[in-house]
Chain A
Amino acid sequence: MKKTIFLGTLTVAGLCAAAASAATLDDVKARGNLNCGVTTGLTGFAAPDANGVWEGFDVDVCRAVAAAIFGDENAVEFVPTTGETRFTALSSGEIDLLARNTTWTMSRDTDLKFDFIGVNYYDGQGFMVPRELGVTSAKELDGATVCIQTGTTTELNLADYFRANNISYEPVPIQTNAEAQQQYLAGACDVYTTDASGLAATRATFEAPADHVLLPEIISKEPLGPLVRHGDNEWGDLTMWVLNALIAAEELGITSANIADMSAAPTNNPEVNRILGTEGELGAMIGLEADWAKNAIMAGGNYGEIFERNIGENTPIGLARGLNAQWTDGGLLYAPPFR
């Protein structure tokens, strides 16, 4: 009896799943808030403060999307996800948007049936070594012991890189970033390797950050971006253009300080006007009000402001813009035109 009920449930569930895939925006509007998947805690990218309010670089993307839809940056339910649960949570509909420093790869985009809506942080794998070793390049690391998180792409990247450069190394497998910090400081390994943003955040917590150097080599491409389910293109477009609006706002000089003035009346710059809804009907094209982008930008500022507040050079993490500068400044951020 149990088995037939089980199979019956399975069939019904399958039918429902097929029927109810589209129109995420309608679901979100009916629910009154956005369900946004974030990490359970990654310095600078997502973490709850003492009052349980989530903040961070990825969190601000969620808030911008919520603000674009509802005009309220707090209409977000943050769902903490782990590396194991994040993709299931998204594909099962538990969350509408996953902003969890997830690397955009081909198999995730195609085989797992997700759509990456852009890149909000260009990361890459780097190395940290104690300054007293006197190493200046990763190529000098022959015979080094390397702390590395097991089961991650960083492990594979490391093997590829060292084999290509014909260097031998001894891996010290560790589970979490917290463990890695302890092992590295205790001298269990000469080198710690993970994403460069993570290295910077880790080094910032050391008692003597200056005693450790980040090597110049970046050995992998880790474009981190928010993603949505495959199959609802309207929802994918909406989230993609919210992210683009944040990036374009920085390029066009729209900040949270001057946005009230700029959106009060049409300015001389027609693209600014189109973004802020004082001209044209771009909002209606993605099913939102005319002031969608204005609300999104007011939520946490433009891309540059979000970056500076959470992970920029004035924070303890102190990341330089690097690849994440606007294309006009030699970076990779390049929002398509709002037209």
Chain B
Amino acid sequence: MSDTDAHVTNAYFRETMIAQQPPPATETGAIKWLRENLFPTWLNAIGTVIALYVIYFIISHAAPWFLNGIWNASSLTECREIRNATLGPDASAACFAVISDRWKQLLFGFYPSEAYWRPVVALVILLAGLAPVLFGSIPRRFMAFSLASPFIIFFLLWGGSIWLPIAIAAGFVIGFYVAKALASVNQIVALLGVVIVPILYWFFVMMPLVNMLQGFLPIGIMAIESKQFGGFMLSIVIGVAAIVLSLPLGIMLALGRASDLFIVNKLSVGFIEIIRGVPLIVWLFTASLLLNYFLPPGTNFDLTLRVIIMVTLFSAAYIAEVVRGGLAAVPKGQYEGADSLGLDYWQSMRLIVLPQALKISIPGIVNTFIGLFKDTTLVVFIGLLDPLGLTNSIRASTDWNGIYWELYVFIGLLFFVACYAMGRYSMYLERKLQRENR
């Protein structure tokens, strides 16, 4: 009893406040949190205990394996000898030595080791080129770099003459100016011109031009065939190329499917349904096996390029359906509002409808991209050595035969990092674009 109550005359009343007491132990701090979150009812308490046991079971088995990991050895046998010598024969220990021995191969495949800097620089340029597209806070003028970056990356990865990527890029510039010149004549003529003139240029003018320029001013770095691509680099090349190419294609297909024009509509529907209705692995076999018979012998139509095209078409069909969902979710009033402003079809799509539709579709689009990126491992079935294919090759050497988990853990980690980053970006973008129309 505090001394402030000393002068109290009436025994039934307290005239002053009691000093603040700490809350009961069960209602504060960690104990409260535990009670509320882990043991609120009997059922939950049992569940918690079981879950804790499962976590303990997994960690108690996996942790020693990870922590005892042996990083320096030249073969699995040596790993086992080191383990027997230091930990005893019954200890569980990972043999991560296979990763220190082969990580370069898992990342770059058969890319020449003196040129490893090229894919690394290409990755930096890719990220730098993507930044202005992905993050609005970066000044728009850096978009010019983003437009140039695919050609720089192409040059870095495949090498050869510098004039080839420049000549390819020139095709787009030609298309741009053709569009500008013909726009005043007629829209349809302009559209045809944009498609036909650059294609004619690429097929008939470009190669002689490149050869002439190369003879005139030979600049270039060592050419590297895509046969030598492999490992995680191959996954990224296929994945990124397909992601970048399939988004515009998918949007065009979605617009085509929503279009009133009979031929455009039916072609889009047919394309989407046929591509989507057949498993990706079948398309990959088509790319690698069937095309070989159709193409004249001796034509060197790059297998990696064929795979990129197939994966792009496949994912474009999925993107088209995701975007179509977004288009359908935009209220009809928005379309009508655009029309009432006197905007033509492309303007209304570009300025009013697509920004809203794409915002709605973001989770679906990123979901498709993550799926696509992981599906690149299917190329192992047509003999391309992606990381999973390389696990088999690495196991086939007598040094590392019998190794499983170490390689898969490493590859899984690489894929997880890439896919998790994509997922996080999608959430960032959704938050940033959030408007109060939910």
Footprint of B on A, CB under 8 Å?
Answer: 9-10, 12-13, 16-17, 20-21, 27, 39-52, 56, 77, 79-82, 84-85, 88-89, 92-94, 176, 178, 181-182, 201-202, 204-207, 315-317
Binary flags per residue of B99-132, CB closer than 8 Å to A gives 1, else 0: 0011011000110010000000000000000000
Known contacts A10-B294, A16-B296, A48-B110; A40/B389 CB under 8 A: yes
- What are the residues of chain B within 8 A of A205 when measuring CB–CB? 76, 401-402
Tell me, in angstroms, the Cα distance from A182 to B288 when the chains sit together: 31
Closest CB in chain A relative to B251 CB, distance in Å? 21
The contact of B401 among A43, A77, A84, A182, by CB within 8 Å, is A43
Contacts of A82 in B (CB 8 A): 380-383
In the assembled complex, the Cα of A9 lies from the Cα of B382 at a distance in Å of: 23
B139 at interface by CB-CB < 8 Å = no
Determine how close the nearest CB of chain A comes to the CB of B45; give it in whole angstroms.
35
Known: A80-B383, A84-B289. 16 other contacts (CB 8 A): A16-B298, A17-B296, A17-B297, A20-B298, A40-B385, A43-B398, A47-B393, A47-B394, A50-B105, A80-B384, A89-B383, A92-B289, A201-B398, A204-B401, A207-B80, A316-B77
Once A41-B395, A80-B383 are accepted as A-B contacts, the answer to whether A93 and B297 lie under 8 Å apart by CB is yes
Q: Which of B228, B382, B396, B402 has the most CB of A within 10 A?
A: B396
Q: Which 5 A-B pairs have the closest CB atoms?
A: A41-B396, A205-B402, A92-B292, A47-B396, A16-B296
Asked if A88 and B292 make an inter-chain contact with CB atoms under 8 angstroms apart, the answer reads: yes
The yes or no answer to B203 lying at the interface (CB within 8 A) is no
Complex contacts, B288 vs chain A, CB 8 Å: 85, 88
B295 near A13 (CB under 8 angstroms)? yes
Residue pair B297, A92 in contact (C-beta under 8 Å)? yes
Contacts A41-B393, A94-B292 given; does A81 touch B383 at CB 8 Å: yes
> Which residues of A lie under 8 Å from residue B393 when comparing CB positions?
40-41, 47-48, 80
> Are B402 and A206 touching (Cβ within 8 A)?
yes
> Closest B-chain residue to A206, C-beta based?
B402
Which of A43, A51, A85, A88 interacts with B395 by CB under 8 Å? A43
Structural contact, A84 and B297, CB atoms closer than 8 A:
no
B203–chain A nearest beta-carbon distance, Å: 14
The answer to whether B80 touches A316, judged by C-beta atoms less than 8 angstroms apart, is no
Check if B404 sits within 8 Å of A182, measured CB to CB: yes
Could you say which of A42, A92, A94, A204 has the most chain B C-beta atoms within 10 Å of its C-beta?
A: A92
Instruction: Report whether B383 and A41 are in contact in the complex, using a CB–CB cutoff of 8 Å.
Output: no
Report which of A13, A56, A79, A181 forms a contact with B402, defined as CB distance below 8 A: A181
Q: Are B297 and A16 in contact (CB under 8 A)?
A: yes
Q: Can you give 10 A-B contacts (C-beta < 8 A)?
A: A13-B293, A43-B401, A56-B396, A81-B383, A88-B292, A92-B289, A93-B297, A176-B392, A181-B402, A205-B402
User: Distance (Å) between the CB of B96 and the closest chain A CB?
Assistant: 15
